[in-house]
Amino acid sequence: MKKTLTILSFFILVFIVASCDSTSSVENTTLNTTIETSEDVLNTDTTATTENSAVTTELSGSVYQEDEMVDEVVYPHNEVIEVNIDITSENYNDIINNAMDEEYHTCDITYNGYSLTNVAIRTKGNSSLRDVFNANGDRFSYNIDLNYYEKQDLFGIDKLILNNLYMDPSMIAEYITYEALDYLGAVSSRTTFVALSFNGEYYGLYLSVEHVGNEFLDTNFNNSDGEQYKPDSGVGANLNYISDSTNYSALVDENSDDLSNKAIIELMKRIDSGDDLVEIFNVESYLKYLAVSTYTVNLDSYQGGMYHNYYLYNNDGVFEWIAWDLNMAFNGFPGVRITDLQATEYLIDEPVINSLSSYPLIESILSNETYLEMYHSYLQELIDGYFNIETFEQRVNEIAEMIDDYVETDPSSFYTYTAYQNALFTDSTLSYSILQFVETRSENIDKQLSGLIPSTNGGKGNVVSSTRPPR
């Protein structure tokens, strides 16, 4: 059905192009078309060739039907798409042997039936990259830049992120966490499962996650030229204000060479004082994220003391929080040693590891009664809605049915097929299935919300004191 719609959309677009320029060939022709209304000029660029004609069409400066095609072709969420990388053995071996360098190499790609040549591929990641490399493995996550060597894209998308499902025996933790964000209406990346092949040989099940770049920003905010930060480590990653003259090394604007940081310094001042934060920070959207992150005990994040895996984007004077790298949700982060039982009891009103004062953004926002009430309402919405155990179990079964054959035949998986099934459906004393985790977590949060059990710990947060089992 989706492929039929893709072909129909293509012929409609080709008909439009042919009506505007009789010299454009539509039979057996691959093209990348841009309509520019200035002086009514029609430009046809055939340098980016695609097997099924990946057509990019712009009208009056806005993308025409692109987003629909992105949903249908690039991120069709409820299906597994085929992706093949054609690459020379020399380039592939260099990528694997020197994975930590994260250097681009040339390859060709066929993505859900659409082929582009001369694109760039490199490894990506932090612990997932380091750990796989140190184990002499070769199942890396990949960053694919369609626009690196020549001007081309896939319906406006020029960067593809393929995640290797590291530290996730269930294979679905990141996928469903993004679904939960979408359920609450938080701004977040689109996703689709990918059956990845190299040179025509199936390599494994991956997750394609929408890159937080210009296309993402334009789609969600209608602009992409604001300041964009992706803190990882260093001064300022925890958003703690020190002084105006401090060198906040973690806060480097990815969209500009301007290092003044005036706007984000003002944001940290407002966080510190708690005054009028909503004027320059989208508190509502952040609270939706915080509710999902707290529910899923996503500790490879700001909340776990790593102060990373998030973007801040200055959207016309109001900063937006954008989630990233959610594969270790549902207590999957090995850097915080708590059992699954302890994770399901994770405090909701001090949703951090150890002292709350080390997390200025969360401390500031949850000290505001209005924001706290809003945050509680989102947690309740998750319990009653997306994570309602009956509907959630049905959803897990649907996803499992969709990916099961790919997991069973995955030749490079970090986990056995039995481990995958257990992670979804089988409980043990120390390690919960994802279904048991959700059922137990919902019951615990409901008690915290009703006041039957504490939701705070006198500012000490969730104290880490035990050893967790391997996953």
> What percent of the chain shows pLDDT beyond 90?
80
Residue written as token pair 């629909």: 68
Domain boundary among 44, 70, 96: 70
Tally of structural domains, the chain: 3
Same domain, 245 and 256: yes
For the ranges 21-25, 146-150, 206-210, 435-439, the lowest mean pLDDT is seen at 21-25
Paired sense of beta strands 310-315 and 228-229, if any: antiparallel
Paired sense of beta strands 62-63 and 32-36, if any: unpaired
Contact 374, 368 (CB under 8 A): no
Chain centroid to Cα 139, Å, comes to 19
For the ranges 39-48, 59-68, 138-147, the lowest mean pLDDT is seen at 39-48
Confidence of residue 471 (pLDDT cuts 50, 70, 90): very low
CB count within 10 Å of CB 205 equals: 23
Give the tens place of pLDDT for each residue, 391-445.
999 999 999 999 999 999 999 999 999 999 999 999 887 899 999 999 999 999 9
Average pLDDT of 188-211?
98
Same domain, 154 and 210: yes
Contact 227, 264 (CB under 8 A): yes
Phi (first) and psi of residue 71, to 5 degrees: -60, -40
Amino acid type, 36: E
By C-alpha distance, which of 153, 151, 176 is closest to 295? 176
Same domain, 86 and 191: yes
- Which residues, at least 6 apart from 173, have a Cβ–Cβ distance to it below 8 Å? 296, 326, 327, 328, 329, 330, 332, 434
Same domain, 59 and 95: no
Question: Helix axis angle, 389-408 relative to 417-425, nearest 10°?
Answer: 180
Amino acid type, 178: Y
Same domain, 424 and 460: yes
pLDDT of 191 over the 50 cut: yes
pLDDT of 9 over the 90 cut: no
Confidence of residue 211 (pLDDT cuts 50, 70, 90): very high
Q: 2: which 2 tokens?
A: 């989706």
Q: 362: which 2 tokens?
A: 């969360």
What is the DSSP-derived secondary structure letter of residue 281?
B
Same domain, 179 and 252: no
Same domain, 191 and 337: no
Give the tens place of pLDDT for each residue, 69-91.
999 999 999 999 999 999 999 99
Contact 308, 256 (CB under 8 A): no
Same domain, 384 and 458: yes
Domain extent for 273: 224-471
Same domain, 189 and 323: no
Report the SS3 class of residue 45.
Answer: strand
Contact 307, 324 (CB under 8 A): no
Give the tens place of pLDDT for each residue, 328-376.
999 999 999 899 999 999 999 999 999 999 999 999 999 999 999 999 9
pLDDT of 58 over the 50 cut: no
What is the average pLDDT value for the chain, to the nearest integer?
Answer: 88
Alpha-carbon distances, residue 146 vs 49, 122, 153 (angstroms):
12, 12, 6
For the ranges 106-120, 353-367, 452-466, the lowest mean pLDDT is seen at 452-466
Same domain, 203 and 112: yes
Confidence of residue 244 (pLDDT cuts 50, 70, 90): very high
pLDDT of 30 over the 70 cut: no
Domain boundary among 40, 70, 100: 70
- What is the Cα–Cα distance from 127 to 106, expressed in whole angstroms? 25
pLDDT of 236 over the 70 cut: yes
What does the H/E/C string look like for 31-66? CEEEEECHHHEEEEECCCCCCCCCCCCEECCEECCH
pLDDT of 219 over the 70 cut: yes
Same domain, 91 and 51: no
Confidence of residue 16 (pLDDT cuts 50, 70, 90): very low
Average pLDDT of 233-260?
91
Average pLDDT of 199-208?
98
pLDDT of 314 over the 90 cut: yes
For the ranges 171-175, 207-211, 333-337, 377-381, the lowest mean pLDDT is seen at 333-337
374: left (phi over 0), alpha (psi -120 to 50) or beta: alpha
- What is the Cα–Cα distance from 99 to 128, expressed in whole angstroms? 11
Same domain, 86 and 193: yes
- Which residues, at least 6 apart from 4, have a Cβ–Cβ distance to it below 8 Å? none
pLDDT at 206: 98
pLDDT at 256: 84
Q: Which residue has the higher pLDDT, 305 or 19?
A: 305
Phi (first) and psi of residue 196, to 5 degrees: -90, 135
pLDDT of 200 over the 90 cut: yes
Residue written as token pair 């850097």: 335
Domain boundary among 36, 70, 104: 70
- Which residues, at least 6 apart from 369, have a Cβ–Cβ distance to it below 8 Å? none
Question: Between vectors from CA 300 to CA 321 and to CA 280, what angle results, nearest 5°?
Answer: 15
- What is the Cα–Cα distance from 267 to 272, expressed in whole angstroms? 9
Confidence of residue 465 (pLDDT cuts 50, 70, 90): low
Beta strands in 78-146 (DSSP E): 80-86, 105-111, 114-124, 141-145
Residue written as token pair 């929408």: 210
pLDDT at 43: 33
